[in-house]
Amino acid sequence: MTGLSYKQHAIEERWDAIVVGSGIGGLAAAALLSKHGGKKVLVLERHYAVGGYTHSFHRPGYEWDVGLHYIGQDAHVRRAFDHLTEGALEWQPMPEVYDRVIIGDRAYDLVAGAERFRARMKSYFPGEGAAVDRYIAAVRSCMKWMNLYSAEKAVPRPVAALAGGLMRAPFLRWAGRTTADVLRGITSDRELSGVLTAQWADYGLPPERSSFGVHAMVVSHYFEGGAYPVGGASRIAETIAPVIERNGGKIVSSAEVAEILLENGRAAGVRMADGRALRAPLVVSDAGARNTFEHLVRAEGAGFQAVRSEIASAKPSMAHLSLYVGVKQAAEQLGLAGTNLWVCPNYDHDGNVERFDKDPAAPFPVLFISFPSAKDPQFARRHPGRATIEVVTPVPYDWFSKWADSGWKRRSAEYNSFKEELARRLQSELERHVPAVAGKIDYAELSTPLTTRHFMNYEQGEAYGLAATPERFRMRCLTPVTPARGLYLTGQDVASLGVTGAFMGGVIAASAILGRNLMAAIGAGTGEPRPGKAPTV
């Protein structure tokens, strides 16, 4: 979806609300403000394509999704999407084995259904049955309190000041510890721990660095398996757009915001890169907390200085490489069923990351291999006789920082040579683990952290905003409410990361703005502690 072009359409000056950024957090907040608040909302997207990490891109004969590879079969999330799109967005269930973990020469299937998952893990580790039970109990105990933690972000600040600590504490007992720390209390079997944490790139940090809270969100989210949007990820923005447009709202692309305007301590609108001011008493930023407070808001008051100081202490999430592959043969002919692959060199995820960070020639710490054309039942109709594959791996941004000031598609020969070598290695790994495509690849294109920086406007090419460390979940500035009246945050820095986490950030932001429990209204929660929502790749 491209939206209206800012450069080619006359845009009105005054709106009820302006949303900066069209990622799923921005789209969700805009749609809910329209649907439940009757507001005329303008969504401004600096990129030429709408949807953030939910948009798709095309090359002749092919298309790929840039960020959404699957979501969990979570009933609460599905009801929320149904509410937001009014049932227009369809989901295709993935195979029962939605993820396959390959570590060294062994494979482990992650199967849909919590009890089937339990039984399968016990079959792989027959001497660790009690540990598997303790692990699932820990995940469920953590997620029991996720909604209460999220609700605290949306309640009025005086209420949060009085009761916020009690609302946050149960979840933070888990989220305030690393994944590795919690796993060490569950099992001493390093192989079991390695399998249970093999999806770590779903949240961007290996076990010794990640919060167990975000690990539990991902695991819980996929307990019932995975699903994929029929028609591809771009259908998400396409099906949300009519809800925004119903009250006169618009989604506008190629529309770069230079500054969020504040007057007398409250939001007044935005100033565009071309100097034009667009006015609204309500501004919602989906540009990320760091971009919002360090670049878009120029106020110097004590409240903003405190927020900037806290955000400066947070590390960015991982950067990544993504190899987009096209094959002139249908997924069915190649025997691709849609099961994602997680390929790790061994069970020591943190050690693998450390070795790779120090030496680009070391084995990739993890490979996530996804088959979008096999997941989407409509892909063959759009691109008959073709298949697409994506290979993703985390990579240090520092490797690419020296080329950051060069333009997209105008980088040096040294950069291109480095990129080509990485692409060659990723393609070789793909052909090794998916031999059906060996010698049949028709097209391959690599995106690097600089690609992400250019299109997503993340300074260090980060995939998930602020890193999901225990410290990140304790940060008090990561709420939709900001020091300026009428200025709110949405997206993955508000609640949790990934597409579904960013989506829930939009729900929390709209709840705070409208003073309503929209989690209950959209069927994503009841206000009582219950399993929470998780991010996706």
CA dihedral (63, 65, 71, 77) positive or negative: negative
Q: What's phi and psi for 471, nearest 5 deg?
A: -65, -35
Mean pLDDT of the 392-419 span? 92
Residue pLDDT, tens place only, 259-300? 999 999 999 999 999 999 999 999 999 999 999 999 999 988
> What pTM was computed for the model?
0.94
- Token pair, residue 185, equals 């209390």
Q: Give the max Cα distance, the chain.
A: 67
With a CB cutoff of 8 Å and minimum separation 6, the contacts of 424 are none
Please report the DSSP string for 325-388 in residue order.
EEESS-HHHHT--S-EEEEESSS-HHHHHHHHHH-TTSPPS-EEEE-HHHH-TTHHHHSTT-EE
- Collect all residues with Cβ–Cβ distance below 8 Å to 213 and sequence separation of at least 6: 142, 146, 171, 172, 174, 175, 176, 468, 470, 473
Containing 279, the helix (H) or strand (E) segment is strand 277-279
pLDDT of 530 strictly over 70 = no
Report residue 158's pLDDT band, with 50, 70 and 90 as the boundaries: confident
Collapsing DSSP states into helix, strand and coil, what is residue 425?
helix
pLDDT, residue 528, reads 34
Rg (alpha carbons) of the chain, rounded to whole number: 22
Report the alpha-carbon distance of residue 77 to residue 29 in Å, rounded: 15
Query: Residue 228: which residues within 8 A CB-CB, separation 6 or more?
Result: 69, 70, 71, 91, 92, 94, 338, 372, 375, 376
Percent of the chain surpassing pLDDT 70: 97
What sign has the CA pseudo-torsion 156, 158, 159, 163?
positive
**Per-residue model confidence (pLDDT) at position 300:** 87
Strand, helix or coil for residue 108: strand
Whether 411 contacts 450, CB under 8 Å? yes
Q: What is the mean pLDDT of residues 467-489?
A: 96
Q: What is the Cα–Cα distance from 146 to 269, expressed in whole angstroms?
A: 33
Which of 437, 422, 481, 207 is closest to 341 using CA atoms? 437
CB 427 within 8 A of CB 389: no
The whole-number average pLDDT for the span 404-421 is 90
Q: What does the DSSP 8-state code read for residue 292?
A: I
pLDDT of amino acid 29? 98
pLDDT digits (tens, 9 = 90+) for 16-44: 999 999 999 999 999 999 999 999 999 99
Structural domains in the chain, sorted by start: 4-59+229-313+466-521 (3.50.50.60)
CA atoms within 13 A on the CB side of 183: 24
How many residues appear in the chain? 537
**At 44, which helix (H) or strand (E)?**
strand 41-44
